[in-house]
Amino acid sequence: MNQETLLVGLAGVLAAAAPIIFAVVGETLSERAGVINLSMNGTILLTAMSGFAVAYTTDSIFLGFLAGMLIGALVALVVAFASITLKQSQVAIGFVLALTCRDLAYFLGNPFMGVSGPRLQAMPISGLNDIPVLGPLFFRQEMSTYISYLAIFLAWLWIYRTRPGLMLQGIGEKPAAAYIRGANVNLMRYVYTVIGGALIGLAGPTYSLGVRAGWMGTISGLDGIGWIALSITIFGGWNPARAAFGAYLFAFLQWLGLVLQPVLTQVPSQVLQVAPFPLMILTLLLVNIGNTEWVDRTLAAMPESARKFTAKVLRAMRASPPAALGVPFERD
Amino acid sequence: MNVELKNIHKHFGKTYANKGIDLTVQSGTIQGILGENGAGKSTLMKILSGFIQADPGGEIILDGKSVVINSPADAIHVGVGMLHQDPLDFPPMRVLDNFLLGRSGGLFPNRTSVRQDFLNLARQFDFSLDPDNYVDALTVGERQQLEIIRLLWMGARVLILDEPTTGISASQKQKLFATLKKLAEQGMTIIFVSHKLEDVEFLCNQVAVLRAGELVGMTKPPFETSTLVELMFGKVVTLGDRQPAKTGDTVLSLQNVSLEDVRLKIKNVNLDLRAGEVIGLAGLEGSGQGMFIRACAGLVRPVGGKVFLKGRDLTGKAYHAFKHQGVNFLPASRLEEGLVPGLSLTDHFILAEEPTGVFIDRVAGQRLAEDRIKSFNIRGTPTSTVESLSGGNQQRAELALLQSPLSLVLLEHPTRGLDIESVIYIWSKLKDRCKQDGAAIIFISSDLEEVLQYSDRLLVFFSGKVSEPIDAATISVEQLGQLIGGKGWTQKGDANA
């Protein structure tokens, strides 16, 4: 494989990861506030269909994306209302919504099956796209990919560097403590869930108007992406940068499966198609190994200097869920 | 800041938690608030700190101005800050982030200047807190220190402390008291809520006693302990004398037991525990006593040595094997590890019984529950869920759940947060049970008086070092305090007592 094809392939990986990144960043914001939006898989399908349908009907890609965001926000609003105001189980409501939205997408999407509609075009950024290696890799992408870079950076900046972001961490961790520090916990949970939902709603149109343009109903191959994104959020330790790493890893492994297929002819193609999933889990388990008890025990047996260093590294990698994830807040 | 509470009422349903309370605290005063569990101390403080609102008709006046406090954020805005018994902070986050969180300002906080403010305040009170450490690596005392300087930084002029001496070490307590005195000298108003008479007597310039929601007395030093106790309970309560237990056969025998986890190594502990004996474990929190008691319960596997229970080798066996031999463990966190929130008292008693058949005999369960509730003096009904009970009653319920026959009871902070009447009750029940079954007791407590009062022998823990068993009658509170702080240990790691 020469350098050019390799670069094109890797640039494709970045593009293919974009929708997953929208989904994990959106979910991360929502879960950081303490609300699990389990409807993600359905939301992605429904927004993929509706984004395409709106763009096809109005001939405006922008309106397609906007429709996706609105629908994503709306579904999230249902989750927020049921869990925050009605104090119902987030898991139950999210799961039902995941199924409902999926079936709704297949049902309502029938008229748009297989029609060819508008799609995003690559938008090389002049000046940057001529940089060797980096140019073709990062800067000859579609608009949605650029926005995905931005989403990672902004979400990370927000959570870890700004005052409201710090409060967001607090709300998900111990709402009572955030409350005495002046947070309106339930309002903030609404806000972050809805914003997170809007981001998840970008994932659908990014597929149907870009990465996998068009709407193909059940054979769109999008069913399941939402569940993967959900687990990437968890393994990503509720950190947008780490979650983005997970998304890129997943897209990379999928691409690798395709590339290796002609080379490893003796391996059944199904194995290569499925391999990204277990590989993904293995990698992420390794990253999160610091959470386990036997590691603690092994550490205890190590000499002092090595122990300190390893413990530090593991501590930095370690991620624990927001302690109040899924728990309704009531001031007592 | 002068604080005046006028005619504060608060009712929940039909019961009054506060009934017409009037209280005036002058600037620069350390005001003690005494009362048994459920006397209405917490309610009053929650009203002042904005967590809940008083019934209409009452008034809060600060420096002569009437204020309305609708939330904790309002409270800190007018200068009232509260230090909660369980620190309301964010354990997985860094100290500096905890400090900064909640302070208003621009979108991007200037961490360099915040760090400077933090270090200045910490230095002022001689707190050694690392701003980059994680809060979950701090002791309860250090978390309190962090919260105190945070509230000061937020502009608190009135500081309310709710049972602040529970769960902190003797030296941290000294430092806390010194800090509070210094703050009072600077004109701050300190409100110190406690049920620990010695702390209140030592620290406060003025003490208000609450009983059943009413302010029943206001005294100034010198304080008479007996008067305070009588005010608190409306009757005279005495501790009773120490009674050395008559001891019987060996129940638990540890031979060269070694334990380790990430932070601590405990080496070669030898202990023979006899029936009827009570052993107290003293030490700063996290000095190894938690691991030790869990090893006795079979929850932690020793890395070396042997554990015998009534002559049977149980080394490395699981918790159930220990339980089968009559070992019961009552952990410190009652609602997390000890009881099942959501289940009623009846459910708990049924679960603890030997199962007979697949279906539950509700009628028998109900009878059992009524029986136990009566004999253990639990304030609750068979259908009360455990989380609706007060701390003291939860602990009584746990005692009522002890299995029979019993050979060894392991308790972690058995009386933490309980008032003196409950403490006395719990201990007399415990001792009765042990006498009846010929069982021994091992308990952890950070209250040195309790350790000396109730144990026959004690083990002192200091960062993984374990003393030889010390006869509790031969050691004073001061000596014990020093050992806990790491002083008075001989070279080979034994306590020199």
Is A170's Cβ below 8 Å from some Cβ in B? yes
Q: Which of B83, B84, B90 to probe the A interface (max A CBs under 10 A)?
A: B90
Cβ of A174 within 8 Å of Cβ of B106? The answer is: no
CB count in 10 Å sphere of residue B6: 16
Residue A252 lies in a domain: no
Query: What ipTM does the predicted assembly reach?
Result: 0.85
Closest-CA distance, A298 to chain B, in angstroms, reads 8
With an 8 Å Cβ cutoff, are B92 and A299 in contact?
Answer: no
Cα separation, A92 vs A39, whole angstroms: 10
Can you give the residue range of the structural domain that contains A104?
3-222
In the sheet that holds B250-260, the strands lie side by side as B265-274, B250-260, B304-309, B312-313
In a domain, A81, yes or no: yes
CB contact under 8 A, A163 and B109: yes
Decide if A15 is inside a domain: yes
Say if the Cβ atoms of B88 and A311 lie within 8 Å: no
CB atoms within 10 A of CB B463: 14
List the structure tokens of B95: 């100290």
- List chain A pLDDT tens, one digit each, 332 residues: 678 888 989 999 999 999 999 999 999 999 999 999 999 999 999 999 999 999 999 999 999 999 999 999 999 999 999 999 999 999 999 999 999 999 999 999 999 998 988 999 988 988 888 888 888 889 989 999 999 999 999 999 999 999 999 999 999 999 999 999 999 999 999 999 999 999 999 999 999 999 988 999 888 888 889 998 998 998 888 999 999 998 998 899 889 888 888 888 888 878 877 877 787 777 767 766 766 667 766 776 777 777 777 777 776 777 778 888 988 887 75
* Beta-carbon separation of B88 and A163 below 8 A: no
A151 in a domain, yes or no? yes
Q: Is B51 in CB contact (< 8 Å) with chain A?
A: yes
For chains A and B, CB pairs below 8 A equal 77
Task: Give the gap in angstroms from C-alpha B130 to the nearest C-alpha of chain A.
Answer: 16
Q: What is the mean pLDDT of chain B?
A: 87
Looking at residue B496, what is its pLDDT? 45
SS3 A66: helix
For residue B245, pLDDT beyond 70: no
For residue A90, the model assigns a pLDDT of 92
Cβ–Cβ contact B262 with A under 8 A: yes
**Residues B93, A332: C-beta atoms closer than 8 Å:** no
Give whichever of B82-86, B158-162, B460-464 has the largest mean pLDDT: B158-162
Q: Nearest 5 degrees, angle CA A103-CA A106-CA A107?
A: 85
What tens digit of pLDDT does each residue of B285-343 get?
Answer: 778 888 999 999 988 888 888 999 988 898 888 888 898 888 999 988 888 788 888 89
**A77 within some domain:** yes
pLDDT of residue B491: 45
Compute the C-alpha angle B239/B243/B245, nearest 5°: 140
Residue B125, chain A, CB below 8 Å: the answer is no
Asked if residue A296 is part of any domain, the answer here is no
The tally of domains found in chain A comes to: 1
User: Which residues, other chains included, contact B305 with Cβ-Cβ below 8 Å and sequence gap of 6+?
Assistant: B254, B255, B256, B257, B258, B268, B269, B315
B112 touching A, CB under 8 A?
Answer: no
Please enumerate in sequence order all residues whose Cβ is within 8 A of that of A207, keeping only pairs 6 or more positions apart, or say none: A19, A44, A48, A220, A222, A225
Is residue A331 a part of any domain in this protein? Answer: no
Measure CB to CB from residue B88 to each of A161, A180, A300 and give the nearest one.
Answer: A180
Residue B342 in 3-state DSSP? coil
Assign B239 a pLDDT band (cuts: 50, 70, 90).
low
pLDDT at B25: 95
Tokens matching residue B296: 């006795």
Query: What number of other Cβ atoms are within 10 A of residue A182's Cβ?
Result: 18
Whole-number Å distance between alpha carbons of B100 and A308: 28
Helical H runs in B307-411? 319-324, 345-352, 362-375, 391-400
Domains of chain B: 3-233 (3.40.50.300), 250-326+403-484 (3.40.50.300)
pLDDT score, position B497: 42
**pTM of the full structure:** 0.78
Of B71, B72, B105, the CB nearest to A163: B105
Q: Is the pLDDT of residue B492 over 50?
A: no
